[in-house]
Amino acid sequence: MTTASLPPTSSPDVRVRVRVRRLTLYTVLVSVAGLFLGPFGWLILSGLKTQGELAASPVHWLPDVFQWHNFARAFTEIDFLGYARNSLIIALVYATLVTLSSAWVGFGFARLDAPGKKALFGVLLGSMMLPQMVTLLPTYLIFAKLGMVDTYGPWVLWGLSAAPYLVFLFRQFFAGMPRELEEAAIVDGCGYASIFWRIFLPQSWSVLSASFIIAFTWTWGDYIAPQLLLSTDRTTLAVAVMTAYVNEAGTPVLELQAAASVMYVVPILLIFLVAQRGFVAGMSTSGLK
């Protein structure tokens, strides 16, 4: 067969179909992104409106004049930085402790053999189905008996107790690592604690970063536990944003709440944008065995 008789590698019809598929894919992706970004965009617009525009009926979609001073007022009318500091301390302490403790427990489920291990792991996964509201009263009574109400002690204990979902992530990741690494370390005289700290943990940075981000966002966005366990001075930014912006009559000032909510969400978005590669890698590799 001569070169002239070979079929063309790309005909005009094929190129058109490829372009149509790409255009369809981009359209779907942009539409889905719009659905997710829509609420955040509406929140920003709400923070730029007046109280009358927020209460208008029918809906006043765009502000007549952008009220940028709402953000300044939201920042200065409460101790915004103080509440943000409280949230940051709690989130960092909990995320660090729960990531390490969950990695340790996940390592045990993945690499150690013991009677009843599968049943215990099933109970652990089943605990994720318990609604938080069911455990509120017992949680408060336990920490009240321990004298930990209005302290950050509960988040330390929660962090040391591991989290079922994060344990599952680490268990899946560690179960996929070669058995030869572990056997060679045992031959060299390492115990399982040394194997975990020196071999397995240094190779799990993707899962560690994903777990840390998940735990940090859990705590940063938690409203119920700080409202239940902390006083007004020690509470977090999530509680302050929802409760502190009120007028003399006790009515919420919605435009300030919206502006404060935007500033409250921005740090989480920045953290994810900076660490998204490690987060996606950690979530994907945890499912591979």
- Here the contacts of 126-129 (C-beta below 8 Å, separation 24 or greater) are 127/164, 128/164, 128/165
CB atoms within 10 A of CB 236: 26
Q: How far apart are CA 106 and CA 171, in angstroms?
A: 4
- Residue 142 has a pLDDT of 95
CA distance 161 to 116: 20
End-to-end CA separation in angstroms for the chain: 47
**Core vs surface per residue 205-224: b (16+ CB within 10 A) or e:** ebbbbbbbbbbbbbbbebee
Q: What is the pLDDT of residue 66?
A: 94
Distances (CA, A) of 134 to 127, 140, 220, 252: 12, 12, 21, 29
The one-digit pLDDT tens for each residue of the chain (289 residues) are: 455 554 555 577 788 888 999 999 999 999 998 898 899 999 999 999 999 999 888 888 899 999 999 999 999 999 999 999 999 999 999 999 999 999 999 999 999 888 989 999 999 989 888 888 888 899 999 999 999 999 999 999 999 999 999 999 999 999 988 888 888 888 888 888 999 999 999 888 889 988 999 999 999 999 999 999 999 999 999 999 999 999 888 889 999 999 999 999 998 888 878 777 766 665 555 544 4
Q: What one-character DSSP code corresponds to residue 7?
A: P
- Whole-number Å distance between alpha carbons of 286 and 83: 34
CA atoms within 13 A on the CB side of 7: 4
- Among candidates 105, 221, 89, 214, which has minimal Cα distance to 153? 89
> What is the token pair recorded at 11?
């005909």
SS3 category, 257:
helix
Q: Coil, helix or strand for 252?
A: strand
Q: What is the rounded distance in angstroms from the CA atom of residue 261 to the CA atom of residue 167?
A: 31
**Residue-level pLDDT at 278:** 63
- The per-residue pLDDT for 15 is 84
